Amino acid sequence: MNSGRYARQVTLPGVGVDGQERLASARVLCVGAGGLGSPAALYLTAAGIGTVGLIDGDVVMESNLPRQVLYDSNDLGRPKTQAAAAKLRLLNPQVKIVTHDHWLEPENAQEVFRGYDVIVDGSDNFATKYLVNDAAAALGLPVVWGSISGHEGRVSVFCVGRGPCYRCVYPEPPSAPVGHCGENGVLGALAGVIGAAQALEAQKLCFKTDGVFRPLLGRMLVVDGATFETFVWEIQPNSQCAHGSKGLRAVSRLEPGVMIVDVRPADEWRKAHVPGALSWPLEALERGKTPPLERSRPCVVYCQYGAQTWRAVELLEQQGFRDVRELLGGFTRWSHESSVAFG
Ligand SMILES: [Zn+2]
């Protein structure tokens, strides 16, 4: 890691060298490389996120330029992902930039999301927002959601199993058709405020959750750009929601006597694991293989960062396990905390 580049970040409380390393191993996908995705991707790349992905099927148009600050006049007509990747690689050659030069569709969403730890939703239409929510919920990934409507911007972090999801808050799309930025007005700087807030939230999800940082999980930031009145609303999982009804099923520490299942690939388990943890990769669960454990006893599952375990919990429950929980922050957080406790 180039410590000089990140010197002003690592000195911050709650970040440190450890936090910078967490950023460097994180993979964040920006859905949409437009008004929100532009500032989000710029700040994520500048901050040294290990992999920044961009998915967008659009080309750069002149009317994009007042808010989509990844692009300039020479980019007109170019695919956004290509133009964006060129800028971002110049900004920070240490970051791996991955481009998906197509739209997010129900057929490809889970396949695209599978390679990431955090999804930043910078899309500008309801259909995509529901699609992002449902694909991320299926994979247990957190979504840093942002939206702009007129002078108002909103940001929240949705993560099924740890808080509400988009469907908990917005069970139905508005019945009257609401145009996106292409039709309705938007001030570019407000898109910058919201997109930068999304980048900040995505970074916070990478840091230790017990320290300085508190992501907007279960809370929604509402910014009125016209007056700069800001509110933070508490939001709850909705028991009527297909995802939210599952409630909160995460634990932050391991109680004695609990069965522990490591759902990472077996070679990761061989390198290091929580003592007593059974190696049972997610991929084996997906194939319907049931771990040889008592179904009635409490069971905690973990993956590397805690982002992938939701799916394992779901599969184990389908196999008849009655009390399955996920370990918050996964193996990374556990190993950090146990090294603090014992090292
Ligand atoms: Zn929900």
CATH number at residue 304: 3.40.250.10
Nearest one of 141, 130, 121 to 33, comparing CA atoms: 121
Q: Are residues 118 and 188 in the same domain?
A: yes
Structure token digits, residue 193: 């405020």
- Rounded Cα distance between 136 and 156, Å, is 14
pLDDT of residue 245: 47
Q: Are residues 224 and 269 in the same domain?
A: no
Residue 278 lies in a domain: yes
User: Mean pLDDT lowest for which of 59-63, 125-129, 136-140, 329-333?
Assistant: 329-333
Q: Which residue has the tokens 């991955």?
A: 98
Q: Are residues 236 and 297 in the same domain?
A: no
Write the CB contacts of 295 (distance below 8 Å, at least 6 apart in sequence): 319, 320, 321, 322
pLDDT of residue 222: 97
Q: Report the share of the chain in percent with pLDDT over 90.
A: 68
- Rounded Cα distance between 271 and 222, Å, is 44
* 238-284: pLDDT as tens digits: 878 877 545 456 677 788 888 999 999 999 999 999 999 999 999 99
- Residue 198: band (very low, low, confident or very high) from pLDDT cuts 50, 70, 90: very high
The whole-model pTM stands at: 0.73
Structure token digits, residue 160: 């099924």
Mean pLDDT across 277-305:
92
- Rounded Cα distance between 11 and 34, Å, is 32
Residue 2 lies in a domain: no
Mean pLDDT across 225-240:
92
Mean pLDDT across 325-339:
80
Residue 171 lies in a domain: yes
CATH of the domain at 110: 3.40.50.720
Range(s) of the domain holding residue 266: 250-342
Q: Are residues 93 and 198 in the same domain?
A: yes
Mean pLDDT across 303-330:
82
- Rounded Cα distance between 37 and 122, Å, is 5
For ligand 1, the distance from its centroid to the CA atom of residue 239, given in whole angstroms, is 8
Q: Are residues 13 and 119 in the same domain?
A: yes
Q: Which long-range CB contacts under 8 A does 332-340 form with residues at least 24 apart?
A: 332/22, 332/25, 332/304, 332/305, 332/306, 333/208, 333/209, 333/305, 333/306, 334/254, 334/274, 334/302, 335/272, 336/18, 336/208, 337/210
Residue 57 lies in a domain: yes
Q: Are residues 69 and 199 in the same domain?
A: yes
Q: Are residues 168 and 283 in the same domain?
A: no
- Residue 64: band (very low, low, confident or very high) from pLDDT cuts 50, 70, 90: very high
Q: How many CB atoms lie within 10 A of CB 39?
A: 26
- Residue 343: band (very low, low, confident or very high) from pLDDT cuts 50, 70, 90: very low
pLDDT of residue 2: 54
At which of 229, 246, 263 does a domain end? 246
Q: Which residues are catalytic?
A: 181, 303
At which of 225, 246, 267 does a domain end? 246
* 90-105: pLDDT as tens digits: 999 999 999 999 999 9
Q: Are residues 141 and 183 in the same domain?
A: yes
Residue 1 lies in a domain: no
pLDDT of residue 36: 98
Residue 102 lies in a domain: yes
Q: How many CB atoms lie within 10 A of CB 172?
A: 8
Residue 63 lies in a domain: yes
For ligand 1, the distance from its centroid to the CA atom of residue 138, given in whole angstroms, is 12
* 129-147: pLDDT as tens digits: 999 999 999 888 999 999 9
Residue 175 lies in a domain: yes
Number of domains comprising the chain: 2
For ligand 1, the distance from its centroid to the CA atom of residue 3, given in whole angstroms, is 40
Burial zone of 317 (CB within 10 Å; 0-12 exposed, 13-18 middle, 19+ buried): middle
pLDDT of residue 132: 96
Write the CB contacts of 280 (distance below 8 Å, at least 6 apart in sequence): 261, 262, 263, 289, 291
User: Vertex 302, ends 301 and 304: CA angle to 5°?
Assistant: 165
Q: Are residues 139 and 18 in the same domain?
A: yes
Q: How many CB atoms lie within 10 A of CB 313?
A: 24
For ligand 1, the distance from its centroid to the CA atom of residue 277, given in whole angstroms, is 30
For ligand 1, the distance from its centroid to the CA atom of residue 145, given in whole angstroms, is 13
Residue 106: is its pLDDT beyond 50? yes
Contact 234, 218 (CB under 8 A): yes
Q: Are residues 261 and 209 in the same domain?
A: no
* 12-33: pLDDT as tens digits: 988 999 999 999 999 999 999 9
Residue 340: is its pLDDT beyond 60? no
Q: Are residues 273 and 197 in the same domain?
A: no
Q: Are residues 236 and 265 in the same domain?
A: no
**Residue 332 CA to chain centroid, in angstroms?**
16
At which of 202, 219, 246 does a domain end? 246
